[in-house]
Structure 1
Amino acid sequence: MAPMPQSAQAQGAPTVWQKMKMGAMMGTGVGLTIGFIFGSYSILRGGAGPRGVLSTLSQYMLSSAATFGFFLSIGSVIRNDTPAQWEAARLQMLPPIMHSRNQGLAIVKARWEQEKAKRSS
């Protein structure tokens, strides 16, 4: 198995600021696309208006990019706001999902013994 690159090991989890920037960039990209689609449809349907095609389309694109970017940046921080220590503690409290063959056999034998003890008493 090949070792991981040094930069990936040393970097760790992204900070809150990095998460917010990433959410804002994704939201801006989505907003620009949605603004282009709805702005183009609006221009084709009702005309460009007194300011012209480019100005009207850019207003649609920029306003939707700002809105989507703002809300996705907040959402990405809220979604990932749980501290890593809490997540690690929660995972430690869960029972293991998979057991080795020997552990599974021991669990089954213990359950059989409990059932035998219940039936005999």
Structure 2
Amino acid sequence: MPLPPPTQQHGAAPSVWQKLKMGAMMGGGVGLTIGFIFGSYSILRGGVGPRGFLATLSQYMLSSAATFSFFLAIGSVIRNEELMSPTMQAARAQLLPPLVFSKAQGAAWMRARWAQEKKKEAPWIHSQ
């Protein structure tokens, strides 16, 4: 029996379109649930209204699902958009020195920058 073709390589990051769809599906599920809760509460508290129970509840659920899916789809794409692959990020973190300095190193670096800037500003101050 032949093996089925692989659907996705192991370790491969999802594409932007896959992230968008995943965020929209998650947002839709959350929105339907929240819409059901708030719609049911609104119907119990204020009455069914002229359109009926099912129409009122479905309007709450669909509007909430559309809103949540829109924002979660965009948020999942923005939040997960990386310029480097995870492998490259891990290699970079291991190979480059950390960007954390001690107080003494930071103060010496700031004094050197200030001295450099004072040298640049000095001709302007004394020429006027």
Query: TM-score with structure 1 length normalisation?
Result: 0.66
What residue is the counterpart of 1:90 in the other structure? 89
Q: Sequence identity of aligned pairs in percent?
A: 68
Count of equivalent residues: 91
Deviation of 1:44 after TM superposition, in Å, equals: 0.3
**Separation in 1, partners of 2:89, 2:10:** 24
What residue is the counterpart of 2:74 in the other structure? 74
Deviation of 1:53 after TM superposition, in Å, equals: 0.8
**Separation in 1, partners of 2:31, 2:10:** 34
What residue is the counterpart of 1:115 in the other structure? none
Deviation of 1:83 after TM superposition, in Å, equals: 2.7
Structure (1/2) with the larger helix percentage: 1
Q: Relative to structure 1, is the Cα distance of residues 55 and 27 closer, same or farther in structure 2, using a 3 angstrom cutoff?
A: same
Determine helix, strand or coil for the equivalent of 1:94.
helix
**Separation in 2, partners of 1:65, 1:55:** 15
Deviation of 1:91 after TM superposition, in Å, equals: 1.9
Q: Relative to structure 1, is the Cα distance of residues 83 and 70 closer, same or farther in structure 2, using a 3 angstrom cutoff?
A: same
Query: TM-score with structure 2 length normalisation?
Result: 0.63
**Separation in 1, partners of 2:91, 2:5:** 28
What residue is the counterpart of 1:65 in the other structure? 65
Task: Note the residue ranges of structure 2 that are not aligned, 5 or more in a row.
Answer: 96-128
Deviation of 1:12 after TM superposition, in Å, equals: 2.6
Deviation of 1:14 after TM superposition, in Å, equals: 1.3
Task: Note the residue ranges of structure 1 that are not aligned, 5 or more in a row.
Answer: 97-121
Determine helix, strand or coil for the equivalent of 2:65.
helix
